[in-house]
Amino acid sequence: MTDKQIYELTIDDLACSGVWYFPMDESAEDELTVRPLLDKETCSDAQIIVRASFVGLDGSSYLGYLYWDGSGEVEYLKPVILLEDGSFVTFWNGMVEPSWADYSANAQALRSRLPFLYVSDSVLDLPKISGKLEGLYYLDGDCISWIS
């Protein structure tokens, strides 16, 4: 498996490797390059993303990932659900106010299944991260808001 840009990750990629890291060195294309984590000693301080499962209100389940972060805050976890058709749902949108209309038809179907409960895989002796997502989050000035 080779490097990927984070926005190229698919369900199959996560099935092959549940943990990816950002090399952030000369070997990487840029800051968005991720690489499967094969040896945990190589990236003790690197940012990693870990596979996570998401369960909707109706019991439907999805695969995705989140950035491992001890704070558990959505702006640092940046959870993402990956869909079978290759599209994805980004639950953290930074300074940009999101709109469900911008997402693919399959992604928009998730709107009726909010809220989502999520839990990450246990990796590298780091604790699992779990929580609840009420909608698409973004920074509204200095406050965090969401579109449900």
Partner 1 sequence: MLLNDKELRQSSQASRAVLGAIGAAAGFGGAILSTPACITGAGCAIPAFSGLGGAASFVDGWQATGQLFAPYDYTQGSKVLASFDSATYPGDVNPLRDYGTEAAKAAMEIALLKGAGKYLDGSGASVLVSGVKATGPIVPDVISPTYRELQGLNKGFQAHHTLPQYLGKMLGYTKNDMLDHPATLITQYSHTGKVNPDAMHKAISKYLPPMVGGKPATYTSGQISSGLQKAYGDIGRPELFDSIKHLIK
Answer for which of 39, 70, 105, 143 binds partner 1 (CB under 8 A) is: 70
Residues 6+ apart with CB under 8 A from 7: 32, 88
Question: Minimum CB separation from partner 1 for residue 33, in Å?
Answer: 9
- Interface residues for partner 1 in 89-118 (CB under 8 A)? 89-90, 92-96, 98-99, 102-104, 107
Answer yes or no whether residue 75 interacts with partner 1 by CB under 8 A. yes
Site size for partner 1, by CB under 8 A?
40
Question: What is the C-alpha to C-alpha distance for residues 82 and 90, in angstroms, rounded to an integer?
Answer: 9
- Interface residues for partner 1 in 32-61 (CB under 8 A)? 32, 45-48
Q: Which of 3, 7, 139 is nearest to 21 (CA)?
A: 3
Question: What is the C-alpha to C-alpha distance for residues 85 and 107, in angstroms, rounded to an integer?
Answer: 9
Answer yes or no whether residue 25 interacts with partner 1 by CB under 8 A. yes
Answer yes or no whether residue 69 interacts with partner 1 by CB under 8 A. yes
DSSP sequence for 76-106: HH--EEE-TTS-EEESB-TTSPP-GGGS-HH
Which single residue is written with the structure tokens 């909608």?
A: 135
Under the rule (CB under 8 A), what is the footprint of partner 1?
Answer: 5-7, 22, 24-26, 30-32, 45-48, 67-71, 75-76, 78, 80, 87-90, 92-96, 98-99, 102-104, 107, 126, 139
